[in-house]
């Protein structure tokens, strides 16, 4: 925790926002997907509550990116107006795109600053393409590149693009994916699990990951394996139970759902990780959700 506090102080000093922040409370999170920063206005300063994954991987970059959101909020040129934000309950699709676009703005700046970050360009692109299921992959790819290359945004612009991607000035028109192509794409997804495995450099670690997937498929009854652009998901009752995201090196991020706490936790798996402990974790968490399912 002391290391996180030291990084926070360093980051807010570098970003020039330290005088505007009166306090920062740090809470540990079980997954990088749950990281966020909440702010509370108090006259002429802010109180910040940062939720940070309790893992050293890219810790500096992960904290830095959280405070870039706060930089945006404090920047008058950004024109932050929370009242115009899309409602998560009434407009979930627009809200998701809004989150994606603001995250792209943050993470593209991280890349330009050459700060190592969990959400690098490849992962951010894959998540965006996967979320835009009504677009062809080519169109989604083109839109992502345009969003990534844009060096500055205002909050109203992010909202405008969230409601209508056609507001982006693109040389190539946005083409919705047709039913036939979507069907073909869905069929191809099944075989891309092997492509994720092939991208793992070490044959030894590739075999380890394959063993984990095979174990989950065998021991988790009624589970369904689905390949995404960014990694491999194992679904139970159409909900993500297990997620494996290769890093492109000899490691991956494994995220598992805990049915008891209704939360996700993430750990880094490497060649040195004890596979049997991962298998026991999968069995334990699956048993929880399967037992809950029996009660329904």
pLDDT, position 191: 42
Lowest mean pLDDT among 6-10, 180-184, 201-205: 180-184
Distance CA 259, CA 285 (A): 7
Burial of 195-220, coded b for 16+ CB within 10 Å and e otherwise, reads ebbeebeeeebbebbeebbebbeeeb
The predicted structure's pLDDT at residue 84:
92
Rounded Cα distance, 296 and 204, in Å: 42
pTM comes to 0.67
In this predicted structure, which of 110-119, 128-137, 165-174, 208-217 has the lowest mean pLDDT? 165-174
pLDDT tens-digit profile of 3-40?
999 999 999 999 999 999 999 999 998 888 889 999 99
Contacts for 28 with CB less than 8 Å, ≥ 6 apart: 1, 51, 52, 53, 54
Which pLDDT does position 180 carry in this prediction? 37
pLDDT digits over 282-295, tens only?
888 888 888 776 65
pLDDT in tens, 92-148: 999 999 999 999 999 999 999 999 888 888 888 888 888 887 887 778 888 999 999
Residue 211 has pLDDT above 50, yes or no: yes
Token pair recorded at residue 239: 């909900």
Q: Which pLDDT tens digit goes with each residue over 232-277?
A: 888 887 678 888 888 877 888 888 888 888 888 888 898 888 888 9
Q: How confident is the model at residue 185 (pLDDT cuts 50, 70, 90)?
A: very low
């Amino acid at each position: 925790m002391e290391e996180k506090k030291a990084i926070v102080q360093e980051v807010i000093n570098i970003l020039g926002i330290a005088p505007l922040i009166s306090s920062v409370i740090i809470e540990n999170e079980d997954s990088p997907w749950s990281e966020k920063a909440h702010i509370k206005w108090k006259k002429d300063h802010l109180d910040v509550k940062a939720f940070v994954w309790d893992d050293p991987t890219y810790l500096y970059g992960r904290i830095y990116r959280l405070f870039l959101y706060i930089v945006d909020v404090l920047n008058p040129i950004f024109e932050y107006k929370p009242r115009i934000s899309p409602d998560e309950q009434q407009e979930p699709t627009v809200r998701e795109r809004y989150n994606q676009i603001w995250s792209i703005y943050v993470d593209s700046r991280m890349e330009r600053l050459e700060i190592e970050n969990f959400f690098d360009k490849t992962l951010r692109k894959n998540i965006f393409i996967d979320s835009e299921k009504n677009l062809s992959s080519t169109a989604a790819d083109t839109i992502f590149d345009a969003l990534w290359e844009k060096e500055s945004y205002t909050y109203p612009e992010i909202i405008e693009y969230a409601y209508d991607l056609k507001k982006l000035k693109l040389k190539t028109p946005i083409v919705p994916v047709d039913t036939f192509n979507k069907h073909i794409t869905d069929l191809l997804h099944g075989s891309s699990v092997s492509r994720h495995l092939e991208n793992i450099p070490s044959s030894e670690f590739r075999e380890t990951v394959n063993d984990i997937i095979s174990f989950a498929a065998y021991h988790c009854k009624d589970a369904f394996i689905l390949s995404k652009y960014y990694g491999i998901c194992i679904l139970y009752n159409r909900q993500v139970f297990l997620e494996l995201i290769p890093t492109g090196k000899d490691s991956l991020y494994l995220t598992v759902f805990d049915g008891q706490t209704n939360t996700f936790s993430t750990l880094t798996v490497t060649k040195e990780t004890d596979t049997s402990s991962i298998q026991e974790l999968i069995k334990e968490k699956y048993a929880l959700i399967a037992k809950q399912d029996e009660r329904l």
